[in-house]
Amino acid sequence: MRKERDGISVEWVKLELLRTAYATRGGMLAARDPRFVIGWYLIFAVVPWFTHNITVLAALFTVCAAAVVLSRVGPLILGLFVIGFVVESLYVLFAAWFFGGDLTTVLALVELTLKLATISLASMAAFVSLDPEKLSDGLLSLHAPAMLSFGVSYGYRMLPVLMEEFHTVVDGHRLRAAPLTDKGFLGWRAVVRTATTLVQAFYPLMLNTAKRTRTTVEALETKGFTYAAEHPDGRRIRLAHLRADRWDHLLIIGTLLLVAASFALGQAYPLHGGVR
């Protein structure tokens, strides 16, 4: 018996992606100036690479985990991260044991895993909090090329359309392709079928998108997109609304204090691993 599910289903995945992309859940960072959010993210993207101290890394990891909770990251993204993190950790232990490593090897691998996990958590917290307009304005104000910042916002604009289109094409394959009579051992035929369908669905998706973009490109021309690239007035107006308040400054100061505290903690209770 089939049933309409609200839990894990294709519809749910689509909704979760939209909620994540459009920052519909709000949260601590969502109300902040995008430039400061990007700055906040950069701190955590860079700092972990300056230490081998596992205590420091664990503290940074905790700070980012707290930020993820405060930023209301959705279950889909968080779930994928946790699965990835757990699998990675198991792999580390297995690899260390298999290749006859000792505690040092494990610690070295744990260190790398922690660094990557910290950065992933920070990017989740930051990008879940930035809706398309904020992200593109933030990038523009940091002097990213106009094409990049527009591309980001246009990508977000097309995301729901493409997801819908992709789903339709996959449905078409489900209905019209040869039905599977036998799923094979452990359902391997079904897996192969799903994989080929996903790949085949890209052909119509790409062509349909290319057709759409022709109008878009002409419209951009009439809306002065190329004009704006040559004249700075538009950029100034677009960014005029970006104004940092004291909360934004507090965010960065607080973050830097927490990072400093992490390093102090690492000095006091060092748990070294890997290369000294």
Partner 1 sequence: MTDIPRPGSAPAIEVEALSFRYPGADRDSLTGVDLRIEHGDFTAVVGGNGSGKTTLCKTFNGLVPHYWSGTFDGAVRVRGQDTRDRSVGALSHQVGYVYQDFGNQLVRPTVRDEVSFAPVNFGLADHRERTDEAMELLGVTHLADRFTWQLSGGQQHLVALAAVMALRPEVVVVDEPVAELDPAHADGIYAALTDLNTRLGTTVIVIEHHAEYVARHARSVVLMADGAPVWHLPVREAMERVDELERHGIPAPQVVQATRSLAPWAPVPLTVEEAAAHLSAHACEDRPEPDRPSEPAPSARAVAPAGSRGAPVARMTGVRHGYREVGGDLAVVLHDLDLTLYDGERVALVGGNGAGKSTLMRLFTGLKVPREGTVRVGGTDTRTVRPAALADQVCYLYQRPEQMFLKDNVREDVAMFPRGRGRPDTDTLVTDVLDRVDLTGLAHRDGRLLSGGQQRRATLAIGLAMRPALLLLDEPTSSLDTASRDAVIAMLDALADTIRCTVVATHDMHLVAEWAQRVLVLDQGRVVADTTPAELFADPGLMSAVGLVAPQITRLGLHLGLNPPPLTVSELLDRHRTTRRTRA
CA separation for the pair 57, 4 (Å, rounded): 44
Q: How many residues line the site for partner 1 (CB under 8 A)? A: 62
Among 184, 216, 244, 247, interactor with partner 1 by CB under 8 A? 216
Cα angle 35, 37, 38; round to 5: 65
Q: How far is the CB of 239 from partner 1 (least distance, A)?
A: 10
Residue 235 CA to residue 233 CA, distance in Å, equals 5
End-to-end CA distance of the chain: 60
Torsion of CA 29, 34, 35, 37, to 10 degrees: 20
243 binds partner 1 (CB under 8 A): no
User: Is residue 211 at the binding interface for partner 1, with CB under 8 A as the rule?
Assistant: yes
- Is 173 a residue that touches partner 1 (CB under 8 A)? yes
Among 66, 212, 242, 265, which residue sits at the site for partner 1 (rule: CB under 8 A)?
Answer: 212
Nearer to partner 1 (CB atom), residue 38 or residue 169:
169
What is the smallest separation between the CB atom of 19 and partner 1, expressed in angstroms? Answer: 6
206 binds partner 1, rule: CB under 8 A: no
Tell which one of 81, 85, 225, 263 touches partner 1 (CB under 8 A).
225
At residue 81, φ and ψ (nearest 5 deg) are -65, -45
| Among residues 79, 174, 196, 257, the one that binds partner 1 under rule CB under 8 A | 174
| Residue type for position 125 | A
154 touches partner 1 by CB under 8 A: yes
3-state secondary structure 250-276: HHHHHHHHHHHHHHHHHHHCCCECCCC
**Residue 110 in tokens:** 């744990």
The reply on whether position 132 binds partner 1 by CB under 8 A is yes
Does position 1 interact with partner 1 (CB under 8 A)? The reply is yes
CA separation for the pair 57, 87 (Å, rounded): 19
CB nearer to partner 1: give 213 or 267.
213
Token pair belonging to 81: 């991260």
At 161, phi and psi to the nearest 5? -65, -45
**Would you tell me which residues interact with partner 1 (CB under 8 A)?**
1-4, 6, 11-12, 15, 18-19, 22, 24, 131-133, 153-154, 156-157, 160-161, 165, 168-169, 171-179, 200-201, 203-204, 207-208, 211-213, 215-216, 218-228, 231-234, 236-238
